[in-house]
Amino acid sequence: MLSVNPHSDSRYLSLLRSPDEAVSHIKSGETIVYGMNICQPPALLGAIADHVSAHKLKDVNIYTFLPREHAQSTVLSPNLCDQITHHSWFTGEADRMMTRYGLSYHVPSYLHQIPRLCRDFMEIDTVVTTVSPMDKSGFFSFGTGNDYISTATRYGKKVILEVNQNMPRVFGDSQIHISDIDGIVECNMPLLELVSPGEKPEDAIIGPMIAGMIPDEATIQLGIGGLPNAVTRSLINHSNLGIHTELFTEGMVNLIDKGVITGKKKNLHQHKHIFTTAAGTKHMYDFMNDNPSIESYPASYVCSPAVIAKNDTMISINSILEVDLLGQANAEYLSGSLFSGTGGQLDFVRGAFDSKGGRSILAFYSTAKGRTISKIVPRLKEGSAITTPRQDIHYLVTEYGITNMKGKDTRQRALAIIDLAHPSFRDALLREADMMGII
């Protein structure tokens, strides 16, 4: 790693502050954007929360994407919600309950458009995020995050970086120079980890089924969750796959290690593994660190459907929560409450379909809660969300099979979707389809 002793650099020392000092320039009424997921800066978020608690700050607007533990224990504290208005482009476990009770607010957005929101539709006063240590040329790396935060730092009025020696140094368009920042704090807390969920029995069916739809030399995108991870376990005998993905995951690291993913046949960034955000374990972060084959770029590039489509045989694999008989997919609402967000799902659904030889795959388990609830429903409920419209759906997959929605009429679609349902729900779904006048 091209690191230096930062404490011997006069520029670095002149910007080095305690967390309390670093946030003292933030004024009441300002708008703050902080790094998503792994890039949440715990020391800075804690200092902001302390200033609000001490009545040094009030009426603060804060924006992020997929807040996690560090935010939950600081700026998302219910005790501060009268002075901090928290906005999330993608809701996570940390703010689901807050959002349900109107204490945090969701901003519906396609991931590829969020950098533009930061550039053209917001006046950002302060940006705070975690970065890697400075290299000998004076550059810090955004590490596991690029997404919107790289754009926000370029258009925010003030930029405060939380330097963490555990954050990997990543190549691509992932650097910010010391001359472009206004403050530095140091915090070497271990990075948050995202451990893969346990394997379900259905994964052993769905994983190989989807892997069989992926030809050698394809470029892949995998979303978050157990099903995409199950697919990586089933790709071990493939060859010369490439990565152009919203999320870089642990399963991809294993396939790179095994020589399955090489990037040799990609149209864009040949031999490079392209992502915009990453989450995994320390093993993955160590693998990413100073690895010239791994590059990150802003979401406005990585998740742009037009860019995605430039990769031949682009295969997009994402999870959904439910689908209705019209073919509308919901990946955001669960039991009438916001569960996540749009993220990059529709970006990759559209980009993959427009790719030469590309496919978009939406996978889900057919049931939930011990097979008592069907995840195929007659119509999405009022108050739910359509993440992927029926016009965009390509392939749907459950443990009961695969169906291609493209070119089917409403009757054919409904019957094909019912075939993906658990057998105990099929008769009821057929009756509902009949009452809806679509079969």
Active site residues: 246
Measuring CA to CA, which residue among 425, 410, 403, 428 is closest to residue 325? 410
311 near 193, Cβ under 8 Å?
Answer: no
Query: How many other CB atoms sit within 10 Å of the CB of residue 415?
Result: 17
Q: Whole-angstrom Cα distance, residue 327 to residue 378?
A: 10
Q: Are strands 60-64 and 31-34 parallel, antiparallel or unpaired?
A: parallel
User: For residue 214, what are the contacts with CB-CB under 8 A and spacing of at least 6?
Assistant: 220, 231, 235, 238, 241, 315
Question: From CA 274, how far away is CA 243, in angstroms rounded?
Answer: 6
Number of separate helices (H) and strands (E) present in the chain: 16, 25
Distances (CA, A) of 341 to 120, 304, 349: 21, 17, 15
Query: Tokens 């530095």 sit at which residue?
Result: 184
Q: Is 29 left (phi over 0), alpha (psi -120 to 50) or beta?
A: left
Residues 6+ apart with CB under 8 A from 291: 168, 170, 171
3-state secondary structure of 376: strand
C-alpha separations of 188 from 166, 346, 385, 417, 421 in Å: 7, 36, 39, 49, 48
